[in-house]
Amino acid sequence: MFALRAVIKYRHTSVKILNSARQGLHTNYHLPQVLKARFLSSEKKNKIMVDPKRVVSYDDMLKVIHQPEKVIIDVRNPDEVHNTGKIPSSINIPLGNVQNVLASMSEEEFKRQYQRSKPSSSDELIFYCQSGRRSSEALDKALKLGYSNSKTYLGSWNDWSSRQK
């Protein structure tokens, strides 16, 4: 039973389970189709799944940078941004500050610090970082805070900077 729970938790769609009490007995369990997801990390313990509807592509980003009503948030540390650059029109809110800024920062303080209005829960937020891992964590935090139109640019800075050359 433990094996079946693990299979469901990690969203495998077709498995064979060998009953060791009866050697050679194979049972096929075909589990219902689950949402397709993208795995970001090569390390098993750090795999993060992202709903494809919440993913923004490079081509999408080329359009979004010219849409001031959409909020592009770079969740890298300020020294990373300083050393590499940033996507045009983005603001830098490090991952460790995302929850506090979105949940608690006043409209006035947000405007003073980021030179733009604080997003409402219905505004589209797009997170990016260096490679996509931290932006996915930020996406999760924003969704839990009620920012239902949040997305992530999985290619993040690595993809953006490689295509700008």
Q: What is the pLDDT of residues 79-135, one digit of tens each?
A: 999 999 999 999 999 999 999 999 999 999 999 999 999 999 999 999 999 999 999
pLDDT one-digit tens code per residue, 37-88: 444 444 444 556 789 999 999 999 999 999 999 999 999 999 999 999 999 9
Q: Tell me the C-alpha to C-alpha distance, in Å, between residue 21 and each of 2, 6, 36, 66.
A: 15, 20, 34, 63
Catalytic residue annotation: 129
d(C-alpha 121, C-alpha 102), whole Å? 9
Closest CA to 93 of 123, 41, 137, 149: 137
Instruction: Write out the residue limits of the CATH 3.40.250.10 domain(s) in the chain.
Output: 50-163
Superfamily of domain 50-163: Rhodanese-like domain (3.40.250.10)
Q: What is the pLDDT of residue 155?
A: 93
d(C-alpha 113, C-alpha 84), whole Å? 21
**How much is the pTM?**
0.72
Hey, is 120 helix, strand or coil? coil
